[in-house]
Structure 1
Amino acid sequence: MALLEAACVNLSDRCKDVCLNYDSGVFCGAKDNTCKNCVPISDNCSSDCVLLGGISRAKHLKLISEIGKPIFTRDLKHCPKFSKLKTLLLNEYWCEAPDLDPLACIMKNSPVLEKLTLQLFSKDSVSSKGEKIRVVVDLPCLDH
């Protein structure tokens, strides 16, 4: 997808690809601890980044996922380089894992990222009022 300018991927509750350990509170992907749904397809880096690999040449990305969906976790095992990515919007999925592994992976593989938007939700507000807390962080160009 060399000509891809922007992409929005939203893995909502309709996505049937789920982590088998999620209900027990285990986060698959941390320290190579994975259930059979979260394990990468193969050890060959070129075939594992199915979703992220397909959108890795976009300049603008919006990546939203419900907690417990293993699609991004599998792709992050062999995270592609986002060599053209300028703006990125992520939800709380990317910040809930141990050590912020998903967020760190995307950040270290996005050398020209200029703006990161983290869309976080207040659990109290979501359940009672449906309000969102939106945090915007502008990143300067960083030398890697």
Structure 2
Amino acid sequence: MVHWSLRRLAGGGHSPAWINRQVNDIWVKRAHEKLFRSRASYKLMHMDDEFKFLKRRCTVIDLGCHSGGWSQVAVQRTGVGMGRCLGLVIGVDKTQIEPLEHHHFVLGDVRDPATLKQVQGILGDRRAQVVLS
């Protein structure tokens, strides 16, 4: 079965070879099965399993967060979605993403002072322990 977004990509200017790789890639299939937004989620999980930088209660800023795969992992691993205020995950991108539960999204360029002001407003008194890019 072809993932719905891969069907959309067929009309989006991607080459047939690229689409074929996506359809047959085991990590794309696993991401789809586990409802991750991208195969890159597994790359972040692998890095965090090794270096353990996504801790409970930590604050994470995900720069260039489109499509949201890394932000999904950060939300899970920091405990944001556990019904208590444990962590904080903020995603910033110039492209709108589909909303993620327990995730703060800022639409804008991180180099723009207005975007930085929005991020600072969400952070409040907190400081980021992790910046993903």
User: TM-score, normalization: structure 2?
Assistant: 0.34
Report the structure, 1 or 2, having the larger helix content.
2
Larger radius of gyration: 2
User: TM-score, normalization: structure 1?
Assistant: 0.33
